[in-house]
Amino acid sequence: WKGNMLRLRKLVVQPGGVVPWHEHNVRPANILIVEGSITEYRSTCKVGIEHPAGDVTAEFGQLAHWWKNNGKVPAVLYSADVLPPAMHEDHMM
């Protein structure tokens, strides 16, 4: 893990808002849903996965996905991901 950077973020996804399609093949992450709920659409599933407050999800390997807040209140997520050196400047991912 030498040279990698741990990035911690708070994400607030408004009702109807999305986290765009992205991959985790070089950027593993753990997500904690702390308020509201959010639906995850994974490349490995045919139906969305509903994540209520209190859920934790691990994102790694060949996973590609996107998220949408289908609820009526903001969804608050805490994200911890590991960035390899080549991605240290990618602040908006």
Cβ 38 vs Cβ 79: under 8 Å: no
Fold category of 5-87 in CATH: Jelly Rolls (2.60.120)
Specify the pLDDT at position 85. 78
- What is this structure's pTM? 0.84
Higher-confidence residue of 81 and 87: namely: 81
Residue 27 is predicted with a pLDDT of 82
pLDDT in tens, 24-71: 877 889 999 999 999 999 998 899 999 999 999 998 888 899 999 999
Name the band, by pLDDT with cuts 50, 70 and 90, for residue 87: low
Q: What's the pLDDT score for residue 49?
A: 97
- Which amino acid is located at 47 in the chain? V
Q: Which pLDDT score is estimated for 92?
A: 52
- Non-local (6+) Cβ contacts of 39 within 8 A are 48, 49, 50, 51, 67, 68, 69, 70
* pLDDT given at position 4: 86
Query: How far apart (Å, rounded) are the C-alpha atoms in residues 13 and 78?
Result: 11
Q: In this predicted model, which residue has the larger pLDDT, 15 or 44?
A: 15
